[in-house]
Amino acid sequence: MPKQAAGPSGAPPARNPCGAEQTAVCVTASLRSARALLVLQLRMLIVLVSPYPSERDALKQLLANEGYRVTAVAARQQAVELADRARADVVIADAQVVGLDGAALVGELAERNVRAQLILLCSRATRWFETRDFVCLPKPVDLALLHRHIDDLMADRVA
Amino acid sequence: MTELGLHDVIDGLEVLICGLDDGGRIHVFNRSCERLTGLPRENAIGQSWLDLFASGGRSEHVVSLWAQAREDGAVGPFEALCRNNRSLRWQFSRLDPRHAPPVALWAVGIDVTHEREALVRARELQRMGALGNLVSGLTHELRNPLNGALLQLTLAQRTLARHHDVEDSLASVDQAAAEIRRVSSILDDFLVFVRPQPVHLERTSVRRIVTRAIERSAFKARAAGVTVGLEPGSEALAEVDASRVESATFHLIANAIDAAAAAPDHIVRVTISVAGNSIAIEVFDRGAGLPTDAPIFEPFFTTKQGGTGLGLSIVQRAAADHGGVVGHERRDGTTVFRLELPIVGGLTN
C-alpha cells in the first residue's frame, strides 16, 4: 500500500495508486461509490482485537452492519492466529493490546506472512496519523474516518 | 587614578555602579544605571538608592542588608526589584569615605531579569510537564470507556433510527453521544494545554490546514445549524506546524460557531490573506461579540456556559510559538479573530 504523509484528523490525503492523478481520483471515487458491492464481492475480513468488551462488541456490530465480515477477540495472540488462519485483510487493534508503536503485532503478522493492514485505535493520540506500518486513529473513534481508511485499503488492494 | 579617570572607567562598565553616602543618597550613577532606569544622571544624584532600586518588594530585607553593609563592609549578592520591575542582583562594598568623599558605600549590580524569567519559565515548564503526565494518564484512562460508551450509543442510534415512534429516545441518545464528544474535546484541550509541544515547521498549504479545521468542526457546525465557509484563494504556502495551526484554527472556528448560532445569519466566514512575510487566517461571525476588556486569552476564562476557557489560550500559545500573534476586533457588527503567522522563519520554542 502506498503510504501518505502523516496528517491531522480529517479526511485522509487523496491517494494516487495509478500514477496519473486524474485517473486515480476517478478510480478511487468509483471504488468508493461501489463500496457495498466490493465488500460483498471481496468478503473482506476484519479481525478486531480489543480488551474492552464495550468497545469490541459495539465496533464489531457497527462494522458488521456495514457489510464487513468481522471477528472480534480480546488478546493479541488470538488476533495473530486468527489473522493467519483466516487470511485477514485488516486488523483493527486497540493500542492497549499491541503497544503504542504496533511493532510487535506488525512483526508477528510479518513472521506468518499475513498481509493484513493494521489500524490502531489509540487513546493517547489526539489526531490521526499514518506510518509505514499502520494507521493510528484517536479515541473516541470517528467512524466516518475509520470507514474511509478501510475504503482506502480496499481501493489499494483492488488497484 | 584621578577622580575623572575613575568616573570614566565606571561609566564604561556594563555593570550598574552607584556610589552612596552614609545616608544612602546617590552620588555616583554610571551610564548603565541611566540606561536601565531611564533616569538622567543629574536627576538621580541626591535620590535615595533604596527608593530607586529596591522599592519593588522585599525592601525591608534590603534595608537590613544596607544596615549590615554599613557595619560589616560588604554584603551580597542579593536581589531586589527595581522601580521599573527589573530584577537586579547587587553587592554592597563599604569604602573609607576619605578615598572618594562623600561616597561611603558602592552598590554594584547586574540586571538578572532575563535570568529570573528563564528560571520562572523553566519551573513553569517543569510544573506543566508533571501536570501533563498526570492529565495524559487520566485522559488515556478516560478515553477508553468513553470510546466504548460512544460506540454503544452509535449502535443504539442506528438501531433506533430504523424504528418509528422512537424520536424521543433517539434524541436522548443523540444528546448523550454529543455530551461524550464534548467530554472528549475537553480532555483534548487539557492535554494540549498542559503538555508543552515542540513546533515542527514544514512548508505546507495553509488553505489545506484551514480546510481540515473546517472539516473537524463540521459536526459542531451541523449541530448548531451554522454554515462555515472558506473564501476562495491561493494555496497560501507557509512554514508552519500544520497540526498546531489546524488546532488553533479549529478553536477559532468553534468559538465563532457558538457565537453564530445565536446570530441572525448563522454564518461563519473564514479568509486567508498574505501580506509581506505574514499570513493571516481570519474568522468572522455576526454574534453578540465579546465583553470589552475581557481577559479572553487567559487560561480558564470563558464567557460560555460549559466552556473550559482553554481554546483561546491554546490559540495564543500556537501563535506565540510560531512568532505570530492573535487578536480580535469588532467591525460593523462582526467579530473578527485574526491569527497572523510569519510565512518563513517563525520562532520555535
| pLDDT per residue as tens digits for the range A78-129 | 899 999 998 888 999 998 877 655 667 888 888 888 888 889 998 877 778 8
Q: Does A117 touch chain B (CB under 8 A)?
A: no
Q: What is the mean pLDDT of residues B193-200?
A: 76
How far away is chain A from the Cα of B164, in angstroms, using its nearest Cα? 19
**pLDDT above 50: residue B346:** no
Q: What is the 3-state secondary structure (H, E, C) of chain A?
A: CCCCCCCCCCCCCCCCCCCCHHHHHHHHHHHHHCHHHHHHHHCCEEEEECCCHHHHHHHHHHHHHCCCEEEEECCHHHHHHHHHHHCCCEEEEEHHHHCCCCHHHHHHHHHCCCCCEEEEEECCCCCCEECCCEEEEECCCCHHHHHHHHHHHHHHHHC
Contact B181 A9 (CB under 8 A): no
The least confident of A27-31, A123-127, B232-236, B341-345 is A27-31
Contact B151 A58 (CB under 8 A): yes
Residues in chain B whose Cβ is within 8 Å of chain A: 136, 139-141, 143-152, 154-155, 158, 180-181, 184, 188, 191-192, 211-212, 215-216, 242-243, 246-247
Residue keyed to cell 500559545: B317
Residues in B touching A143 (Cβ below 8 Å):
154
Contact A55 B144 (CB under 8 A): yes
The band of B199, judged by pLDDT with boundaries at 50, 70 and 90, is: confident
For the ranges A58-62, A84-88, B74-78, B275-279, the one whose mean pLDDT is highest: A58-62
Where is B204: in which H helix or E strand? strand B202-205
ipTM of the complex: 0.71
Contact A141 B143 (CB under 8 A): no
DSSP E strand stretches across chain A: 45-49, 69-73, 90-94, 117-122, 129-130, 134-138
- The C-alpha atoms of residue A71 and residue A64 are separated, in whole angstroms, by 9
Residues in B touching A140 (Cβ below 8 Å):
143, 146-147, 150-151, 180-181, 184
Q: Which of A11, A54, A94 sits opposite B215 (nearest CB)?
A: A11
How far away is chain B from the Cα of A7, in angstroms, using its nearest Cα? 8
Q: Which of B147, B243, B247 sits opposite A141 (nearest CB)?
A: B147
- For chain B, the average pLDDT equals 85
Q: What is the mean pLDDT of residues A140-154?
A: 85
Residues in B touching A14 (Cβ below 8 Å):
none
How far away is chain A from the Cα of B141, in angstroms, using its nearest Cα? 8
Q: Does A54 touch chain B (CB under 8 A)?
A: yes
Distance of CA B234 to the CA centre of its chain: 31
Q: Does A152 touch chain B (CB under 8 A)?
A: no
